[in-house]
Structure 1
């Protein structure tokens, strides 16, 4: 693809980062350093039941920071659950800062609360077009401290807030640089009790973040933009590549071990690093086809219940949904950047015997071997979808134009239909 005026500039952004065992005990100090005297702690009922959010809130008192805990986050948040969180914040605020304690659901809900308590309007005003209006916030947001308790989403590093729009049965998001957390506090101790099923699903989110950002179209393939027009997802670039490669290398040695032996502190620490590193990569380069396909897979679920997730409602966890079309998506994108797909496969599975594989099949094979080993379902058919559902899934994926624009080759509706069809059964 050639352009008369190709882009010559890429942007890179990241939160401040505090990493290590015990880092979560220092949040009161961090907030006081930011000038905060009051904070809203945002979490979900499962994390709240462990007492962790309350402990974080209590520790703030030593630094004269008062805290209110909201523990009503919905796992895989919806527009309704986010509006409820915003109303709670408006009723109990104002606050000087927001602290998210939990997985991506809590961090994304905190981002929405931060946006809508500092800016006018409703969620639909800020949701990515064509689902919403795609408006940018006009006012600065509060300091946001993100404290992940799962190794997966990388939400502590990114500018993105993801949610289900219930009336449309579609998952979409809000993306703007102002949503990026001010500080990411990554404490591996908080992730030691993550169940195997959650570790597997959220770990596939890490993996796809790294793979999608590494294989995203390069920033130089875009038309030159004015500064105000540049978006956080600017395409693969040398800095995002570095983080993605490191994330893949960490996953190669830790992913299976962390799922099978959750008490392995080294594997858990490496997964925490990988999640943050992959977030630092895709939070700038972007993600593409597997994530675009994942949103309707999650949004249209009927009766699938994943292992180790709380509650009785039907759910395809985000990372699991992303993984289910990833092998076929990367088979489709291979010819756009063969060397990147091969390099990614070799980072993820060093020493893999390539002699029996066609180059195009190497990354899909490495992925399906891993997915089978860690207990991921064997395709979209295993979570309840049939061939007759594919037109609806394609329609939902096509609504994710912000993501599809980052793909190294642009899929048509027919291309996406083929990816879904071949993903009904992966092995």
Structure 2
């Protein structure tokens, strides 16, 4: 653990069942005309969430325009399209309503609504231009309807450049939401499979933040708590989506995981998954992480930080006291497999999404090209050959 670090967490978070209604009265809205960003599936309209948000904003003296084309793996062209709509309508803040894809897109749209050029000009990594935006992003409000990405509590936004198959995370101090509302009642409608995918995403954010070389005391505390909460409550929420206690505990674990991403970092597990879903956009991010996870973390547990793997296993309820010292770190792998099974994801396999064994070396190369920075904070060095082998070990 490093005791030489920077702590910065500027987002105001309103958390708890029923908190969405606070949108009508809160004094913390950052403008008077919102671009509301939602997904293309239509679920926010069907569930009535969009109508409620528009009505609450109106009660608070705020007009709204809606952009509704965001995909589950969002793409740069929709960022630019949404930004153009925000400019035409003179919106002064951007509100993301939905899961991680819509909130991430809202962040990127907020950047491009006030900056010249193309979104990829400002992305770091891959073919991104690496420029610094000359103007600060519009303020961002996040209303999350899933317990998955933690994006309501971090600055990161993950967008894909479709023509080059590059899926890259990027962010700055300007892309922290100014206000986030986390209302677990909005998560009661999430189907079991999506609950599992998003919950596992939050789980791996926490695990990776706990292992990253840039970890710090606050991220360690939050990560271990989130790991334990998800291990306990994700299977319950998958079994019974109306279990508000499980949903609330998962929502908090997810927000904790987002704060961990702000204070620490994900590691190369995420780089490897981004390559998978860049090549195969139908792969949900949490599904991709899950399919790679046993092979990836087994490889790490064999080589580094045994005490941290033991601590994570114990946080998940796995007893290690009677195990030989050399075996203790692998109690985490046992606990991880139990969580995957209990969440209904044991049947997920890369080949089921059309991933071919012969493309695994290309995925490895893509992971270094697009998200190479996360390899720098991974606690053990990984070569291209080793990453390809991890893909091989995960493949079925």
TM-score class, shorter: over 0.9
Structure 1 gaps of 5+ residues are: 1-5, 218-234, 302-313
User: Post-superposition shift, 1:420?
Assistant: 0.4
User: Post-superposition shift, 1:54?
Assistant: 2.2
Give the conservation status (yes or no) of the 8 Å contact 1:53–1:69: no
Give the conservation status (yes or no) of the 8 Å contact 2:3–2:217: no
Name which of 263, 266, 291 aligns with 2:270.
291
Question: 1:249 and 2:216 equivalent?
Answer: no
Give the conservation status (yes or no) of the 8 Å contact 1:325–1:379: no
TM-score (norm 2): 0.93
| 2: CA distance, partners of 1:404 / 1:191 | 33
5 Å matches for 1:215-294?
215-217=211-213, 235-294=214-273
Match of 1:344 in 2: 312
Secondary structure at the residue paired with 2:108?
Answer: helix
Match of 2:147 in 1: 151
Using the TM superposition, name which of 41-50 and 415-424 deviates more. 41-50
Match of 1:395 in 2: 365
TM-score (norm 1): 0.86
User: Post-superposition shift, 1:363?
Assistant: 1.9
Using the TM superposition, name which of 340-349 and 370-379 deviates more. 370-379
Match of 1:82 in 2: 79
| 2: CA distance, partners of 1:194 / 1:352 | 35
List per-residue Cα deviations over 1:200-244 (Å, max 9, x = no partner). Answer: 101110100000000101xxxxxxxxxxxxxxxxx1000111111
Match of 1:304 in 2: none
Name which of 308, 328, 333 aligns with 1:364.
333
Match of 2:379 in 1: 408
List per-residue Cα deviations over 1:113-143 (Å, max 9, x = no partner). Answer: 1000122221111112233022233322222
Using the TM superposition, name which of 127-136 and 372-381 deviates more. 372-381
List per-residue Cα deviations over 1:236-268 (Å, max 9, x = no partner). Answer: 000111111111121122011011111111111
Match of 1:59 in 2: 56
Give the conservation status (yes or no) of the 8 Å contact 1:327–1:365: no
Secondary structure at the residue paired with 2:377?
Answer: coil
Provide runs of 4+ in structure 1 moved above 6 Å: none
5 Å matches for 1:23-422?
23-30=19-26, 32-34=27-29, 36-44=31-39, 45-92=42-89, 94-217=90-213, 235-301=214-280, 315-334=282-301, 335-351=303-319, 355=323, 358-376=327-345, 377-399=347-369, 400-422=371-393
List per-residue Cα deviations over 1:327-360 (Å, max 9, x = no partner). Answer: 2222222232111111112112344797499234
Q: CA, structure 1 residues 157+99, in 2 after alignment: closer, same or farther (shift >3 Å)?
A: same
Give the conservation status (yes or no) of the 8 Å contact 1:128–1:402: no
Give the conservation status (yes or no) of the 8 Å contact 2:147–2:250: yes
Give the conservation status (yes or no) of the 8 Å contact 1:136–1:176: no
User: Post-superposition shift, 1:14?
Assistant: 4.2
User: Post-superposition shift, 1:286?
Assistant: 0.6
User: Post-superposition shift, 1:29?
Assistant: 2.8
| 2: CA distance, partners of 1:198 / 1:87 | 31
List per-residue Cα deviations over 1:151-176 (Å, max 9, x = no partner). Answer: 10101011111012111122112221
Secondary structure at the residue paired with 1:194?
Answer: coil
| 2: CA distance, partners of 1:152 / 1:88 | 28
Give the conservation status (yes or no) of the 8 Å contact 2:309–2:330: no
User: Post-superposition shift, 1:388?
Assistant: 1.1
User: Post-superposition shift, 1:383?
Assistant: 2.9
